[in-house]
Amino acid sequence: MNQEALLEGIVALVRDEHRQGIRELIGRETERYAEGNASRALHFLEDLNFFVRMRGPDFIYSRGIAGSLRVSEEIFELAYAVKQKMP
């Protein structure tokens, strides 16, 4: 899956009135994380997509073990921001 398709899939989960704001937030965070590296950007969006789609209890548990995962705490903060805007 490419970056745009992943981004569209994540944004589609969010209530209509919050989609533009979430799209911009994800775009900023992806750029900050990837620093122009397309491969890193895709990896970041794949991880974000995974965490956004987790059930609540599983998401909270996985956040607690962030240190042992290959992602940083920042991705959980972003995933949480997306989850808050979902119906």
Question: Model pTM?
Answer: 0.78
The pLDDT of residue 11 is above 90: yes
Residues 3-22 have a mean pLDDT of 96
pLDDT at 73: 72
CA 52 to the chain's CA centroid:
6
pLDDT at 21: 97
Closest CA relative to residue 12, chosen from 74, 85, 76? 85
Condensed to tens digits (0 to 9), the pLDDT of residues 23-81 reads 999 999 999 999 999 999 999 999 899 888 888 777 766 666 655 555 667 787 888 89
Which amino acid does the sequence have at 45? L
> What is the C-alpha radius of gyration for the chain, rounded to an integer number of angstroms?
12
